[in-house]
Amino acid sequence: MAGKKNARSEPAAAPATTATSTPSAKAPLTPTKNPIPIPTPAQPKAVAAQGGWAQVFQNLYDYYLSETPQRTKLLDVFLLFLVLVGALQFLYCILAGNYPFNAFLSGFCGTVGQFVLTISLRIQTTEANKADFPKVSPERAFADYVVCSLILHFFCVNFIN
C-alpha cells in the first residue's frame, strides 16, 4: 500500500515502484532484513493467510547462505547499499519535493543503473550461470562492468546540472 501512496504523489513513482520491487527482486539477502519485499507479499499474506510464507523465506535464506560465495556476498552488500541510497533519494523526493528534477533523476537513475549493472555482474560471475554466458568470462564481465559504470556516471554527471 505504501507503494501505491507513493505512486499517487510523485511523478517518478513508476520507476520507484519497480525499483522498490527491484531490490527484493535481485538482492537475495533481502528476505531477512529488507523492508521492501513486504509490500508485495504482505498483502496476499493478510488476505489469503497461506501460512507457508515463513517457510518460503526460511528456505530462501538457507539457500542463500549455503550457496553464495563470499565475493558475491560482497556484491550483495553493495546492492543493499544502492537500494538504501535509492530509497533515501526517493524519500527525499517525496518529502522535500523534486525541485532540482535533473539532480534527482540523475541521482536516482544512477543508483538504479548501477544496481542493475551490479546485478548483471553478479549473474555473469555466478558459477551456476556459466551455461548462459559461454563467451563471458568473469574477467570480461568485470571489464564490461567497469566500462558500463563509467558511461553511466558520465551521463549522470553530465545530466546533473
Partner 1 sequence: MAVAQQNALLGPPSQSSRTLLRVVILLFIAGAAIASRLFSVIRFESIIHEFDPWFNFRATKYLVANGFYKFWDWFDDRTWHPLGRVTGGTLYPGLMVTSGVIYHILQALTIPIDIRNICVLLAPAFSGLTAFAAYLLTNEMTTSPSAGLLAAAFMGIAPGYISRSVAGSYDNEAIAIFLLVFTFYLWIKALKLGSMLWGALCALFYGYMVASWGGYAFITCILPLHAFVLICMGRYSRRLYVSYTTWYALGTLASMQIPFVGFLPVKTSEHMPALGIFGFLQLVGFIDYVRSAISGRQFQAFLITVLVATFGIGLAGLVALTSLGYIAPWGGRFYSLWDTGYAKVHIPIIASVSEHQPTAWPAFFFDLNILVWLLPAGIWLLYKELRDEHVFVITYALCGSYFAGVMVRLMLTLTPIVCVAAAIAASKLLDTYLVKSPSQTSTSEAGEKKAPKSADKTASPLGVSSMVSKLTIVGAMIVYLLMFVSHCTWVTSNAYSSPSVVLASRMPDGSQHIIDDYREAYQWLRQNTKEDAKIMSWWDYGYQIGGMADRPTLVDNNTWNNTHIATVGKAMSSREEVSYPIMRQHEVDYVLIVFGGLLGYSGDDINKFLWMVRIAEGIWPEEVKERDFFTARGEYRVDDGATDTMKNSLMYKMSYHNYQSMFPPGKAADRVRGVQLPSEGPVLNTIEEAYTTENWIIRIYKVKDLDNVGRDHFSAAAFDRGQKKKATKKRGPRVLRVD
| Residue ranges that bind partner 1, judged by CB under 8 A | 3-4, 7-8, 10-15, 17-19, 21-22, 24-26, 28, 39-41, 43-44, 48, 50, 52, 55-56, 59-60, 63-64, 67, 101, 105-106, 109-110, 112-113, 116-117, 119-121, 123-124, 128-129, 132-133, 135-136, 140-141, 143-145, 147-148, 151-152, 155-156, 158-159
Residues of the chain by 3-state class (helix, strand, coil), percent to 5: 80, 0, 20
Closest alpha carbon to 92 in 112, 107, 79, 77: 107
Nearer to partner 1, 22 or 89 (CB): 22
In this structure, what C-alpha cell is assigned to residue 100?
532540482
All three cell numbers of 63, joined, read 539457500
Distance CA 93, CA 87 (A): 10
Residue 5 vs 71, nearer CB to partner 1: 5
